[in-house]
Amino acid sequence: MRKVALIEAGAFHDECLYSQIQYLKRDDVQVTLFCHAALQPRVDSLPDLHEIVYLDLSSKTKKYKSWFSTWRKIVKGKFSTVIFNSAESNIIKLISFPFPKRIKMVGTLHNAHNLFEKKKQRKVTKRIDTYLTLNDFVTQNILAENLTTKKVGTYYPIFFPEYPNRLEKPEGEIWITVPGVISQNKRDYSVFEDWNLPKHVKIIFLGRPEDEEAKAFIERAKQYPTAQNFVFFDAFISNELFHDYIKQSDYILPLIHPNNAFFERFRKYKISGSYNLAFGYRIPLLMEQSFNDIPDFQENAIFYDYKNMDGLFENIEKIKKEYYQDPKWTFDHQKQNYLQLIFGDSN
């Protein structure tokens, strides 16, 4: 039996865990999850795990104790593979311990820009055997720019637990969802000020405001002529409600535009979590035209010019195509691809 340690040292990116556990789920793989204690409410019910070990990383002393006990458990427990759900600087203390060469280390790189920007990432790279990214375009850019000599591959964490359907969607309404906290740093909300939205279209913001600037946007939006088109939440949204809205969405809108401070990173080195929600539930994306050279979006998105949002619905009416035809979106394809990257085989 292969024993795998799946590790998340931070308090984020838990949305990537379920798919990996399901890909690894087979008779000869036993998965133990080691994760930040803050994730307990969100991961406690994850199925198909041998064990969950919660890490207390609240102080330097507790970090050392947690990492030492994790290292000892992995080495003495004869684990063959360590998979870092986030291969970032917060794992440096753990990988500084003397792991035997027989243990393969794989890690997901959520922001490939770190490869040439951060010195700490070089320490991670030195110990990692294989990097994983979350979209083919990120892997292609890493390879094209020679950002690492390590093996790099892509997997898509696009499968989610089953959640009940409790929402009743009014007949004739079109739901466009904007997943994630409302953050001016991540998304461009200025387009809503002058966007002439049809009455039957609802823009549903599936996240609470991140800060005072985000709250100010909500207050302004409530004064827009199209205020009746917006749905906001001022508190945490449960996974059940979040996924219920996503599943019934007609389109998903990431709102990543060229005027965003981190636009170039999204163009080349990282993804928005909105993409995987769309891919998982096979919902078309609404993408700014700057992304029209990326194959996943060419197949599964409708493009618009963020300086002329009123033209978007004209494009929607004109474009008639079949989405999600590529076999890469099937569970079997993603599972075999993931196992090949982790183990070097497809059994």
The answer to whether 166 and 155 are in contact (CB under 8 A) is no
Same domain flag for 112 and 197: no
> Per residue in 122-149, pLDDT tens?
999 999 999 999 999 999 999 999 999 9
For residue 18, pLDDT over 50 is answered with yes
Same domain flag for 152 and 261: no
- What is the pLDDT at residue 281? 98
For residue 166, pLDDT over 70 is answered with yes
Question: What's the CA gap between 80 and 1, in Å, rounded?
Answer: 10
For residue 231, pLDDT over 60 is answered with yes
Averaged pLDDT, 147-170: 97
Q: Which residues contact 35 (CB under 8 A, 6 or more apart)?
A: 7, 8, 9, 14, 17, 43, 52, 53, 54, 55, 85
334 in any annotated domain: no
Q: Which residues contact 16 (CB under 8 A, 6 or more apart)?
A: 85, 108, 134, 157
- The tokens describing 174, both together, are 């079109």
Same domain flag for 140 and 232: no
For residue 212, pLDDT over 90 is answered with yes
Same domain flag for 148 and 8: yes
Same domain flag for 143 and 283: no
Percentage of the chain surpassing pLDDT 70? 99
Q: Closest by alpha carbon to 37, among 19, 59, 18? A: 59
Among the candidates 157, 192, 227, a domain finishes at 157
Provide the pLDDT confidence category of residue 311 given band limits of 50, 70 and 90. confident
pTM score? 0.96
- What is the pLDDT at residue 347? 44
Domain containing 188: what range? Answer: 174-318
Among the candidates 101, 130, 157, a domain finishes at 157
Q: What is the mean pLDDT of the chain?
A: 96
Among the candidates 98, 128, 157, a domain finishes at 157
For residue 234, pLDDT over 90 is answered with no
DSSP string, 35-57: EEGGGHHHHTT-SS-SEEEEE--
Same domain flag for 146 and 180: no
- What is the pLDDT at residue 114? 95
Question: What's the CA gap between 290 and 256, in Å, rounded?
Answer: 10
Same domain flag for 104 and 218: no
> Per residue in 236-268, pLDDT tens?
899 999 999 999 999 999 999 999 999 999 999
Maximum distance among all alpha carbons in the chain? 64
- The tokens describing 115, both together, are 């490869």
Same domain flag for 93 and 180: no
> Per residue in 74-127, pLDDT tens?
999 999 999 999 999 999 999 999 999 999 999 999 999 999 877 999 999 999
Averaged pLDDT, 287-309: 97
32 in any annotated domain: yes
- What is the pLDDT at residue 345? 61
Q: Which residues contact 157 (CB under 8 A, 6 or more apart)?
A: 15, 16, 17, 18, 19, 20, 134, 276
Same domain flag for 205 and 106: no
> Per residue in 19-78, pLDDT tens?
999 999 976 899 999 999 999 999 999 999 999 999 999 999 999 999 999 999 999 999
336 in any annotated domain: no
Same domain flag for 151 and 7: yes
328 in any annotated domain: no
Averaged pLDDT, 190-196: 96
Same domain flag for 179 and 256: yes
Same domain flag for 131 and 183: no
34 in any annotated domain: yes
93 in any annotated domain: yes
> What are φ and ψ of residue 302, in 5° steps?
-110, 130
329 in any annotated domain: no
CATH of the domain at 196: 3.40.50.2000
165 in any annotated domain: no
Provide the pLDDT confidence category of residue 298 given band limits of 50, 70 and 90. very high
Averaged pLDDT, 273-290: 98
- B/e letters for 141-153, b = 16+ CB within 10 Å, e = fewer, are bbeeeebbebebb
- What is the pLDDT at residue 346? 44
Domain total for the chain? 2
